[in-house]
Each structure stands twice: as C-alpha cells, then as structure tokens.
Amino acid sequence: MPAHRGRGIADALYKTAEQLCATGTLYNWVHPNNDCMIAFLAKRGYDTLNLIEIRKKHADEKQHEKIRIKNNEFKY
C-alpha cells in the first residue's frame, strides 16, 4: 500500500530472504507492469531472467498493446 512505502519493510524482507537463500538462487515473479518492484529489485542487483507470460484472453477481452522480445511479438 502506498502509505507503507519507503519504510524499509521490503528491504528488510529481502535481506532476510537473501540470507536464508545464501547458498542458492532467489527467484522472483514480477508482473511486467510492476515498475516499482522492478526498480526495487534492480537497485538490489537483480537482473531480468525471463520476460514472458502466456495466457488465454477472455472471450470479450481486447488486447491493444504488443511487446517485442528479441524475434517474438506478443499481444499484451
């Protein structure tokens, strides 16, 4: 929630998670529209590993945007 941002809560949680996973790899699933979380993770040294999410749209749903990843174009 916006009222709780900037208080160091996520930073403390990630520090703990990284300590618990010190001998392994910590993976995150982040929606591509979550700019705040992507920026937060980038500041912590995380890199994008995978940027694809596939789903079937609802019958009446319109997809207006497209994104390109290398040689592939996806409706979004």
Taking residues 7-19, report their average pLDDT. Answer: 91
d(CA 65, CA 76): 5
Candidates 48, 52, 53, 2; CA nearest to 28 is 48
Domain ranges within the chain, ordered by starting residue: 2-52+61-75
pLDDT bin (cut points 50, 70, 90) of residue 30 is: confident
DSSP state of 24: S
Residue 16 has pLDDT above 90, yes or no: yes
Candidates 43, 14, 12; CA nearest to 27 is 14
**What's at 74, amino acid-wise?**
F
Higher pLDDT, 67 or 10: 10
**What's at 28, amino acid-wise?**
N
Model confidence over 32-48: pLDDT tens digits?
Answer: 778 888 889 999 988 87
pLDDT of residue 36: 86
Residue 2 has pLDDT above 70, yes or no: yes
d(CA 59, CA 64): 15
